[in-house]
């Protein structure tokens, strides 16, 4: 099912923004556009999406500040500072450089990479993670609202398709008596052909009648199709994951409809079969969009 959701948050860490877009797909497929510094959160984000969304191609976009850049607190690497200062002092003594002051040496120590670094401690990253997940949760809620609106329209369309199939099936049911009369007339003509030969082969006659009944009677298929259609109506009233169930029922309906079409040569029934198959195909297309 298609949908769109977004959310954002402005905090002291910076501006967080999450967008979710989805298109129809049988399974859940997530494509993410995350900055490199969010790679450690990607699996968590995917799990949260998987809890809410079961099917669809999801495009995820996240914009957020780098946790290290947003940190305003500097941390001193004391052991590294001591080591750098010690090495600098050793070089001073080795070269007998009396003119180098302590202030100059301190300046060099402070310039050394990683002696001073921004705070990326576990506590700070935990706060960052919670805020990111909060924005994601709001985006998912917005996404759900978007899909709920589409779902309501989709349900209306599915119900309309079921009504169309009901109407076409009604035509078939009303044509069965006329079809039976035609069947009786054809059978009588075939019996006359047997009698013209002067001898009646009972075994052959029984076989012909049985085969003719089997190939022309559509009452069983109509009954099963009606039952599947009722099952479809019940399914549309249920909650939860319905897509696969609707698709399965539609497959069964297609099987019975094909058999009806193959057995009948009645023009009105043929036209109704075409309408039913068209309705079923549209239901199957929409079932791919339903969780």
Q: Provide φ and ψ at 149, rounded to 5°.
A: -65, -45
Summarize the confidence of residues 102-122 as an average pLDDT: 69
The pLDDT value recorded for residue 39 is 78
Q: Does the pLDDT value for residue 122 go beyond 70?
A: no
Among the four given CATH numbers 1.10.1740, 3.30.230, 1.20.1690, 1.10.3470, the one describing domain 3-65+128-149: 3.30.230
- Residues 270, 274, 280: CA angle, nearest 5 degrees: 140
- 278 vs 254: CA distance, rounded Å: 10
Rounded to 5 degrees, φ, ψ at 32 are -115, 145
Global pTM? 0.57
Residue 291's pLDDT is: 62
At 189, list the tokens: 């003509």
Q: Where in the chain is the domain with CATH 3.30.230?
A: 3-65+128-149
72 pLDDT tier (thresholds 50, 70, 90): low
Mean pLDDT of the chain: 80
| Strand 28-33 with 74-76, pairing | unpaired
Number of residues assigned to the chain: 291
Of 41, 53, 223, 209, nearest to 134 (Cα)? 41
> Alpha-carbon distance 165 to 236, whole Å?
15
Residue owning tokens 């099917």: 55
Do 166 and 229 meet the contact criterion of CB atoms below 8 Å apart?
Answer: yes
Collapsing DSSP states into helix, strand and coil, what is residue 126?
A: helix
Distance CA 106, CA 179 (A): 104
Q: Which tens digits make up the pLDDT trace of 173-199?
A: 998 887 777 777 776 776 676 666 555
Rounded to an integer, the average pLDDT of 42-67 is 82
- Where does the pLDDT of residue 254 fall: very low under 50, low under 70, confident under 90, or very high at 90 and above? very high
Of residues 81 and 58, more confidence is placed in 58
- Asked if residue 144 has pLDDT above 90, the reply is no
The 10 Å Cβ neighbour count of residue 154 is 17
- pLDDT per residue over 212-233, tens digit each? 666 667 888 999 999 999 999 9
d(CA 238, CA 254): 22
Q: Is the pLDDT of residue 69 over 60?
A: no
pLDDT of residue 13: 67
Residue for token digits 């780098």? 66
CA distances in angstroms from 75 to 53, 68, 116, 124, listed in the order given: 41, 12, 6, 13
């Amino acid at each position: 099912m298609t949908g769109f959701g977004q959310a954002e948050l402005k905090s002291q860490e910076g501006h967080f923004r999450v967008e979710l877009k989805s298109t129809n797909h049988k399974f859940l497929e997530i494509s993410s556009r995350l900055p490199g510094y969010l790679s450690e959160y990607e699996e968590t984000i995917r799990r949260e999406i998987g809890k809410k969304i079961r099917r669809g191609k999801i495009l995820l976009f996240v914009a957020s500040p780098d946790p290290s850049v947003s940190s305003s607190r500097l941390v001193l690497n004391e052991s590294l500072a001591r080591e750098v200062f010690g090495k600098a002092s050793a070089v001073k003594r080795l070269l007998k450089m009396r003119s180098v002051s302590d202030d100059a040496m301190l300046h060099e120590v402070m310039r050394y990479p990683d002696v001073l670094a921004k705070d990326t401690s576990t506590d700070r990253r935990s706060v960052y993670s919670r805020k990111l997940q909060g924005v994601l949760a709001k985006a998912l809620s917005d996404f759900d609202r978007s899909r709920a609106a589409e779902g309501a329209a989709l349900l209306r369309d599915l119900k309309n398709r079921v009504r169309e199939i009901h109407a076409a099936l009604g035509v078939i049911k009303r044509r069965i008596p006329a079809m039976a009369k035609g069947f009786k007339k054809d059978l009588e003509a075939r019996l006359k052909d047997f009698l013209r030969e002067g001898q009646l082969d009972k075994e052959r006659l029984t076989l012909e009648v049985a085969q003719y009944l089997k190939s022309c009677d559509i009452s069983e298929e109509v009954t099963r199709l009606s039952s599947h259609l009722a099952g479809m109506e019940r399914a549309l009233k249920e909650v939860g994951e319905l897509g696969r169930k609707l698709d399965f029922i539609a497959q069964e309906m297609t099987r019975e409809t094909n058999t009806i079409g193959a057995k009948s040569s009645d023009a009105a029934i043929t036209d109704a079969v075409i309408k039913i198959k068209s309705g079923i195909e549209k239901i199957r297309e929409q079932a791919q969009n339903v969780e």
